[in-house]
Amino acid sequence: MQRITSTSSGSVLSLVQSTSLTHLVADSVEELILLGELAPGAKLNEVALAERFGVSRGPLREAFRLLEESGLIYQEKNRGAFVRVVELREAAELYEVRAGLDATAGRLLAGCINAEQLSTLRQLTDQMKSVDDSDVEQFHILNLTFHDHIIAMTGNRTLTDTYRKLAKLLALFRKRNLMAPMAIPHFAQEHSTIVDMLEQRDALGCAESLYAHAQGGRQRMLRDGELAGVAHGN
């Protein structure tokens, strides 16, 4: 049996520590992007970020590589790293894919959802119904949580990872475009209907409801994006 010598063991430990640090830094930068502190199109200042996180520029650059692979940033030779800008057309394409993933999740979950999961989703829809019509941000957070729960509850890791990557890219688009006021009670009711379908174990009905719900979001996004473009003379 091959043994790991003290030297090779130290090398392995160093590699593990470096990999862990890289992921921690990547997660921290990602959080700044998704919270809007690093806006779409902004240049990532290596020196400032390295000082902020107390790391050298090596792990930071590795973190940039991970974030580039996830689609949140892009890098240009001799210019540096920048937060991705998601344009309206790309966002519409992302929404189309998301609609398909939502439908798939609904079909899968309807066949295996348990009482505890139903209770969790029902609590979220109850919270949505209690949100004030003008509190768009709070409803938006509950909406993201609701859909992420449905995806995660399927237990399908590939579906979950793919969906969350799309959700992050769509978050970049939302950071560039202020959400228009929404008819919150109407959308809250749509979510409640989805939970009803899940409770009835209606796989087809749930899939269709989630797909229609996502497509409705896409149409509102396109309408609001076009109006914003007209308002800004684009």
**Sequence ranges of the domains in the chain:** 6-83, 88-231
Confidence of residue 234 (pLDDT cuts 50, 70, 90): very low
Average pLDDT over residues 14-29: 75
Confidence of residue 216 (pLDDT cuts 50, 70, 90): confident
pTM for the whole thing? 0.79
- The per-residue pLDDT for 217 is 84
Of 126, 231, 132, 144, residue with least CA distance to 181: 132
Of 215, 66, 226, 209, residue with least CA distance to 150: 209
Hey, what CATH class is 6-83 in?
A: mainly alpha
Contact 187, 139 (CB under 8 A): yes
- The per-residue pLDDT for 12 is 38
Is residue 178's pLDDT more than 60?
A: no
Is residue 5's pLDDT more than 50?
A: no
Gyration radius from the chain CA atoms:
21
Contacts of 63 (CB under 8 A, 6+ apart): 22, 23, 25, 26, 29
Confidence of residue 6 (pLDDT cuts 50, 70, 90): very low
Burial group, residue 221, by CB count within 10 angstroms (0-12, 13-18, 19+): buried
- The per-residue pLDDT for 15 is 40
Is residue 135's pLDDT more than 90?
A: no
- The per-residue pLDDT for 3 is 34
Average pLDDT over residues 203-225: 89
Average pLDDT over residues 196-207: 97
Distance CA 163, CA 210 (A): 14
Please state which CATH number belongs to domain 88-231. 1.20.120.530
- The per-residue pLDDT for 137 is 83
Average pLDDT over residues 128-156: 91
**Percentage of residues in the chain having pLDDT higher than 70:** 84
Is residue 19's pLDDT more than 80?
A: no
Confidence of residue 231 (pLDDT cuts 50, 70, 90): very low
Average pLDDT over residues 70-96: 93
Residue type, 153: M
Contact 122, 130 (CB under 8 A): no
